[in-house]
Chain A
Amino acid sequence: MKLFPIRGGVHPEYRKELCSEKPIVALPMPDLLYIPLQQHIGAPAEALVSEGDLVKKGQMIARGQGTVSAPHHAPTSGRIKAVTQVLAIHPSGLTQLTIIIEPDGKDEWADLPAPIDDPFSVKPQAIKDRVAQSGIVGMGGAAFPSAVKLNLGIQLKIDLLLLNGAECEPYLTCDDRVMRERAEEVIDGARIMAHALGAPKVIIAIEENKPQAIEIMTRAAAAQPNVEVVGVPVQYPMGAERQLTQAITGLETPSRKLTADLGVVVHNVATARAVQQAVRYGRPLVSRVVTVSGEAIREPKNVDVPIGTPVAKLVEFCGGFTSEPARLVNGGPMMGAPLVSLEVPVVKGTSGILALTAAEVKERPTSPCIRCGVCITVCPCGLSPVEMAPHIRKDHLDVAAKLGVMDCFSCGSCSWVCPSHIPLVHYFNYAKGMLAEQDREQTKIERTKRLAEEHGIRIEKADEAKKAAMAAKQAAMAAKKQSATAADDKAST
Chain B
Amino acid sequence: MSTLYPSKTAPFAYSANSVQKTMTTVLLALAPATLFNLYLFGWPAILLFAVTVGACAAAEASCVALSGRPATSTLGDGSAVLTGWLLAMSLPPWAPWWTGVLGAVFAIHLAKHAYGGLGQNAFNPAMVARVALLVSFPVVMTTWVVPHPLFSANALGLADAFAITFGSKPLDAMSSASVLGFVKTELSRGIPVTQSITQVPNLMDMALGYRAGSMGETSALLILAGGLFLMARGIISWHIPVTVIGSLFLMGTVFNLVNPARFTDGTVQVMSGATFLGAFFIATDYVTSPVSKQGQLVFGIGIGLFTWIIRTFAGYPEGMAFAVLLMNSLTPIIDQYTRPRGFGRTRKGEPLPLKVKS
Contacts and interface: CB of A to CB of B under 8 A. Distances in A.
Interface of A: 7, 10, 12-13, 91, 157, 159, 170, 242, 251-257, 261-263, 327, 329, 331, 333-338, 354, 356, 360-374, 376-377, 379-384, 386-387, 402-404, 407, 410, 412, 415-421, 423, 425-426, 429
A7 B340 CA distance: 11
B22 interface: yes
B11 interface: yes
A426 B357 contact: no
Given A370-B118, A371-B287, A425-B11, A419 B22 contact: yes
Contact of A371 (B3, B13, B291): B291
A365 B11 contact: no
Nearest to B16: A362
Contacts of A257: 344, 351, 354
B167 interface: no
Contact of A419 (B18, B351, B353, B355): B18
A384 B340 contact: yes
Give the contact-size bracket for chain B: 35 or more
A338 B9 contact: yes
B11 A382 contact: no
A254 B349 CA distance: 11
Contact of B18 (A373, A421, A425): A421
A407 B344 contact: yes
Contacts of A363: 4-5, 7, 14
B286 interface: yes
A417 B13 contact: no
Majority SS at the chain A contact face = loop
B353 A429 contact: no
Given A255-B345, A327-B12, A425-B11, 5 more contacts: A242-B343, A262-B357, A333-B13, A423-B5, A423-B9
A297 to B, nearest CB: 14
B27 to A, nearest CB: 15
A146 to B, nearest CB: 24
B349 A404 contact: yes
Contact of A418 (B17, B343, B352, B357): B17
Contact of B77 (A159, A329, A367): A367
Contacts of A263: 357
The 6 closest A-B pairs by CB, nearest first: A373-B291, A412-B11, A255-B344, A254-B352, A419-B17, A255-B351
B136 interface: no
Most buried by A among B7, B16, B18, B292: B7
A420 B19 contact: yes
Contacts of B357: 157, 159, 262-263
Contact of A361 (B14, B18, B287, B289): B14
Contacts of B353: 254
6 contacts: A91-B9, A251-B355, A254-B352, A376-B293, A412-B11, A415-B14
B354 A370 contact: no
